């Protein structure tokens, strides 16, 4: 069976995958491969990342939008659990399957996303951070993503809770889903410092509320105007 690990980018999906692999020993997959991961062997190992087999390729968003018929997927009727990461919106999934949704304070997520795009993907200078952050706030669909996923996910976890207690939160999510998976609660999850050592491109600060010293007030005001409904739905206050 497939279990989706869903989130908006920069909301803890990678940390969840690391915890899943360390707790269960199971591999994890990605619906869409990120080429930047190819240069991060230690991070791939920590996640137990395995590339989807050729016969298990998932339809692209373009194929789904064009109404391409869904082919039978080998993971759907498999007795084993296959954890698959996705950043897709809830209505874009090619197959119905249980999902864990990870939600993070949108201000932290978008600040992290802006840094990730500038440095990890494009190698731009920090001076472009504020214009890039504003563009993301104005054009992304963070609030829509959250509102679409909250009622659909079988389990919703908060990034902030997972950072505080990754073993407890992730193990509880497995149990809540009723998955027939052995959990090793004595497993050790790498600290954030250790994760940074594995990859500076993917792990930067990880601070809860770190947006406060990076998101200017005029951008935060616009964020609330555009994404306030998502924040309220997810239980974040202004």
At 8, the pLDDT band (50, 70, 90 cuts) reads: very high
pLDDT of amino acid 36: 73
Q: Do the Cβ atoms of 159 and 103 come closer than 8 Å?
A: yes
Q: When comparing pLDDT for 42 and 211, which is higher?
A: 211
pLDDT of amino acid 113: 92
Where along the chain do its domains lie?
Answer: 2-234
Residue 163 CA to residue 85 CA, distance in Å, equals 18
Q: When comparing pLDDT for 83 and 32, which is higher?
A: 83
pLDDT exceeds cutoff 80 at 125: no
Domain 2-234 CATH class label: alpha beta
List the one residue out of 90, 111, 103, 117 whose CA is nearest residue 223.
111
List the one residue out of 17, 49, 18, 22 whose CA is nearest residue 184.
22
Q: The pTM is what? A: 0.90
Terminal C-alpha separation, the chain: 39
What is the CB-side half-sphere exposure of residue 67 using CA atoms within 13 A?
0
Q: Would you state the structure tokens that stand for residue 17, as one six-digit string?
A: 């995958």
Best mean pLDDT range from 11-25, 60-74, 198-212: 11-25
Average pLDDT over residues 84-112: 93
Classify 55 as helix, strand or coil: helix
Q: Would you state the structure tokens that stand for residue 68, as one six-digit string?
A: 């391409």
147 CB contacts (<8 Å, ≥6 apart)?
229, 230, 233
Residue 59 CA to residue 54 CA, distance in Å, equals 12
pLDDT of amino acid 70: 59
Per residue in 45-83, pLDDT (tens digit) is 889 999 888 777 787 666 666 655 556 788 888 889 999
């Amino acid at each position: 069976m497939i279990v989706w690990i869903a989130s908006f980018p920069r909301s803890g999906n990678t940390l969840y995958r690391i915890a899943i692999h360390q707790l269960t020993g199971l591999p994890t997959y990605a619906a869409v491969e990120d080429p930047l991961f190819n240069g991060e062997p230690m991070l791939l190992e920590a996640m137990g990342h395995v590339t989807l087999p050729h016969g298990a390729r998932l339809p692209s968003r373009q194929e789904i939008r064009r109404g391409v018929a869904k082919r039978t997927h080998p993971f759907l009727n498999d007795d084993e659990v296959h954890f698959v990461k996705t950043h897709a919106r809830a209505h874009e999934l090619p197959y119905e399957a249980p999902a864990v949704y990870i939600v993070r304070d949108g201000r932290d997520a978008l600040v992290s996303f802006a840094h990730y795009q500038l440095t990890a993907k494009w190698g731009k200078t920090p001076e472009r951070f504020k214009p890039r952050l504003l563009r993301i706030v104005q054009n992304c669909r963070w609030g829509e993503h959250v509102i679409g996923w909250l009622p659909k996910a079988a389990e919703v976890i908060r990034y902030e809770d997972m950072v505080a207690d990754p073993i407890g939160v992730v193990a509880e999510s497995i149990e809540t889903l009723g998955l027939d998976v052995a959990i090793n609660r004595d497993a050790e999850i790498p600290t954030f410092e250790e994760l940074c050592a594995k990859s500076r491109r993917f792990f930067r600060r990880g601070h809860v509320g770190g947006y406060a010293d990076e998101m200017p007030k005029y951008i935060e005001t616009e964020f609330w105007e555009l994404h306030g409904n998502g924040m309220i739905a997810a239980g974040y206050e202004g």
